Amino acid sequence: MQPLLPETGFIRLTNILQIIPVGKTTWWAGVKSGLFPKPVKLSTRTTAWRVEDIRALIEAKASLSKGVA
């Protein structure tokens, strides 16, 4: 079962990796290369992503896979 995303707000990496099946190292490499969205620093030790950016990523990947099939 896929976890539900809130409409707005922030999501941490552990929750993103439950939705998008990649490892931490792959995720960070994708962030660095621009494949995945940039994070937001909420504090010195807290990094998160905007839910809107993750939704856009999922929609973009879904439309690509529909175009290929």
- For 3-20, write each residue's pLDDT tens digit: 678 889 999 999 999 999
3 belongs to a structural domain: no
Dist. CA 52–CA 25, nearest whole Å: 22
Dist. CA 29–CA 35, nearest whole Å: 8
Count: domains in the chain = 1
64 belongs to a structural domain: yes
Question: What letter does residue 44 receive in the DSSP assignment?
Answer: T
Flag whether pLDDT at 69 surpasses 60: no
How far is CA 19 from each of CA 11, 45, 67, rounded to the nearest angstrom? 11, 23, 21
2 belongs to a structural domain: no
Q: According to the model, what pLDDT value does residue 66 have?
A: 73
3-class state of residue 4 by DSSP? coil
> Domain range holding 17?
10-68
18 belongs to a structural domain: yes
